[in-house]
Amino acid sequence: MSSSVKKKGFGATVWDYLTTVDHKKIAVMYLLGGTLFFVIAGLEAVLMRIQLMYPENDFVSAGTFNQLLTMHGTTMLFLAAMPLLFAFMNMIVPLQIGARDVAFPFLNSLGFWLFFLGGLFLHLSFFMGGAPDAGWTSYASLSLYSPGHGVDFYVLGLQVSGAGTLISGINFLVTIINMRAPGMTFMRMPLFTWTTFVTSALILFGFPPLTAGLILLLFDRMFSAKFFDVMYGGNTIIWEHLFWIFGHPEVYILVLPAFGLFSEIIPTFSRKRLFGYSSMVFATILIGFLGFMVWAHHMFTVGLGPTANAIFAVATMAIAVPTGMKVFNWLLTVWGGSIKVTTPMLYALGFIPSFVAGGVTGIMQATAPLDYQLHDSYFIVAHFHYVIVGGIVLGLLGSTHFYWPLFFNRMLNETLGKITFWIFFIGFHMTFFLQHFLGLMGMPRRVFTYMPDQGWDLFNFISTIGAFLMSAGVILLVLNVIITAIKGEPAGNDPWGDTRTLEWAIPQPIPFYNFRQTPLVRGLDPYWIEKQEGNKEGMVYAEPLGDIHMPNNSIVPFVMSLGLFIASFGALYSPLGVADDSRTWAIPVLVIGLVITFGSMIYRSLKDDHGYYVTVAEIEALEEELYGKKGGNK
């Protein structure tokens, strides 16, 4: 039966989103879930900055500060930046390559629910005895001896959430390889699809080391296995290796999609083709490859020796070359273009110098002797945030303005958008630029207070004011969204006027099957080619109009994820735990959760679900209802 029949009512809408396998609705859920965690992580950061606003402040205790520090980093990287990027991947990539959905719609839904329930589980730690407090890297020496169950929440929450990310990465790899429209060769794919492709490969190889490390840490915590405990012959440095073999590719897992998003924004508002397309593709691949060669530059101070330090220093310097190629290509795209300064373009123009600043301080860290001096100082905090905020967050905010019409068929207010940009951008530089100098003056990172009259007072005060400005920028963006939802007019397709890729050619609102007929791609920037040739429809087609096969909705992904969510509560409490920590309900809860998950998997395996067909008559009726025109394309 066709799902083009409209359902009414709140309950029906909730059920629709619980069971949906439509990549566009899953994109909206990623956007909402990622935004929720982004706001939580931002609030944690503001509380830390208030504590550091004055010397010897007692706004929060040392223990609370450690929890805020750990949860801010963990939430922002795993539960905010990645899901928000997955929102754009889900919405844009199938449309850019001319597909009707991702390769595995069921797994797409499962990936989202694993991420969301894993993140929810982690945040329940605040209400169940205390959040993790060993830092977002959770180094084994600290995490093994952390009292309470905060670190157990960290381990189990990231395992569940990480499984969702891994599933999504595999899904996008298969989608991009197998589901491109006729004529969409690899060297005609838009840059965002290319960066999604390389990012998915990084996820495929980067997450298993983290998974292995978390399992070993779980066994150390639950069963006293002593993998990392040096008192019993374990090795705490092994955790650092496992974490950073994942952790450095993770930086590129986050920043490559942001590069791809800017590579869509900059040509659109420079009104010319992206300069050096082929070199951009190969630079993306090279960044992905070299991303696995540099992990130990996070470990220059642990005593690996001069040979290892030299190898990783050279690799770290080498990875700057393809990144530099990208920066010059963006600049040369803008150079000589007919620039239109919109809100997304402002974010793109602000991104280039901000990210370059973060990259340059990173290359400084590649010099091991200098790293010995700057390691674990506020210089590292400043460098890292110039990469993450100056690269990824600016990319997310700019792309939110750019792609909002695709998500919701509405344009965000441009004037309010530009005000938001300037408030956030000034606040960002106020917060983190001075932290370079705090680091050079010797302020260590992760301290919850400091003595007065060391020369740190003023810079910390200004940093906190900057954090308030960044918060004000985010609040303004939320207001913009609310105002647009209430008063906004339908945007229609191609609302920016100069867009170049296939996702902008589809009529708005986008039907659940995306393309009534599979498009034929005749070159790079296919929509631009059709516009230049006067094709008002924006596409030519590779097939006649026919019935469309679509997947059925399913509640099973939610139930499967819910089972792991429930089982995680049972796994918190070790059966070998001390008497005052015993929970008689722990093992039954663990078993019940696993039964729900494995029962759902068995049900899914045994049930024949062949989807359904949308007939030509239904397609024409739906399009007449949506666009007021009878079907029939050339």
Looking up residue 466, the CATH number of its domain turns out to be 1.20.210.10
pLDDT higher than threshold 90 for residue 632: no
350/498 same-domain check: yes
Report the candidate in 253, 104, 280 with the shortest Cα–Cα distance to residue 190.
280
Report the candidate in 456, 583, 462, 566 with the shortest Cα–Cα distance to residue 149.
583
pLDDT higher than threshold 60 for residue 297: yes
Report the candidate in 467, 471, 560, 541 with the shortest Cα–Cα distance to residue 167.
560
Q: Quick: pLDDT tens for 500-509.
A: 999 999 988 8
Going by the DSSP 8-state scheme, the letter that residue 508 receives in this structure is: S
Alpha-carbon span 360 to 350, nearest angstrom = 16
First-last CA distance in the chain:
27
Helices of type H across 179-235:
191-223
Q: Which residues, including other chains, have CB under 8 Å from residue 545's CB and lie 6 or more apart?
A: 516, 517, 616, 619, 631, 632, 633
325/364 same-domain check: no
Which SS3 state, helix, strand or coil, does residue 291 take?
Answer: coil
Which SS3 state, helix, strand or coil, does residue 509 take?
Answer: coil
pLDDT higher than threshold 80 for residue 519: yes
Alpha carbon 190 to chain centroid, angstroms: 19
Residue 318 lies in a domain: yes
Mean pLDDT of 167-186: 95
Number of domains forming the structure of the chain: 2
499/351 same-domain check: yes
Q: Which two tokens stand for residue 517?
A: 């007929």
| pLDDT band per the 50, 70, 90 thresholds, residue 576 | low
Position 88 scores a pLDDT of: 97
pLDDT higher than threshold 90 for residue 356: yes
The kind and range of the H/E element at 613 are strand 612-614
| pLDDT band per the 50, 70, 90 thresholds, residue 5 | very low
298/436 same-domain check: no
- What backbone phi and psi angles, to 5 degrees, belong to 612? -150, 170
DSSP state letters, 330-353? HHHHHTTS-----HHHHHHHHHHH
pLDDT higher than threshold 80 for residue 536: yes
Q: Which residues, including other chains, have CB under 8 Å from residue 147's CB and lie 6 or more apart?
A: none
Position 634 scores a pLDDT of: 35
Position 587 scores a pLDDT of: 87
CA distances from 93 to 184, 501, 618 (A): 12, 11, 26
244/308 same-domain check: yes
Mean pLDDT of 559-581: 79
Residue 209 lies in a domain: yes
395/327 same-domain check: no
pLDDT higher than threshold 90 for residue 609: no
349/492 same-domain check: yes
| C-alpha Rg value of the chain to the nearest Å | 25
Mean pLDDT of the chain: 92
Report the candidate in 431, 506, 433 with the shortest Cα–Cα distance to residue 461.
431
Task: Residue 183: count other Cβ atoms within 10 Å of its Cβ.
Answer: 15
Q: Quick: pLDDT tens for 416-442.
A: 999 999 999 999 999 999 999 999 999
CA distances from 500 to 155, 176, 264, 530 (A): 43, 19, 8, 9
Position 574 scores a pLDDT of: 63
456/356 same-domain check: yes
Contact yes or no for 252/290 (Cβ under 8 A): no
Residue 95 lies in a domain: no
| pLDDT band per the 50, 70, 90 thresholds, residue 225 | confident
Question: How many C-alpha atoms does 97 have within 13 Å on its Cβ side?
Answer: 29
Residue 626 lies in a domain: no
Residue written as token pair 């402040």: 57
Contact yes or no for 413/446 (Cβ under 8 A): no
Which of 290, 313, 337 is the last residue in one of the domains? Answer: 337
Residue 572 lies in a domain: no
- What is the residue range of 208's domain? 190-270+272-337
Position 4 scores a pLDDT of: 42
Which SS3 state, helix, strand or coil, does residue 540 take?
Answer: strand
Strand ranges inside 452-532, DSSP E = 519-520
Answer with the residue of higher pLDDT: 110 or 609: 110
Residue written as token pair 């949506």: 626
Residue 23 lies in a domain: no
302/217 same-domain check: yes
385/363 same-domain check: yes
Residue written as token pair 């590649």: 366
331/397 same-domain check: no
Mean pLDDT of 466-472: 97
Alpha-carbon span 448 to 318, nearest angstrom = 36
Alpha-carbon span 464 to 566, nearest angstrom = 39
Which of 465, 494, 512 is the last residue in one of the domains? Answer: 512
Residue 486 lies in a domain: yes
Contact yes or no for 576/223 (Cβ under 8 A): yes
Alpha-carbon span 312 to 303, nearest angstrom = 13
pLDDT higher than threshold 70 for residue 581: no
Which of 301, 321, 337 is the last residue in one of the domains? Answer: 337
Alpha-carbon span 318 to 363, nearest angstrom = 9
The kind and range of the H/E element at 118 are helix 105-123
Side chain identity, residue 1: M
Position 487 scores a pLDDT of: 87
Angle at 159 between CA 158 and CA 162, to 5 degrees: 75
302/396 same-domain check: no
Residue 147 lies in a domain: no
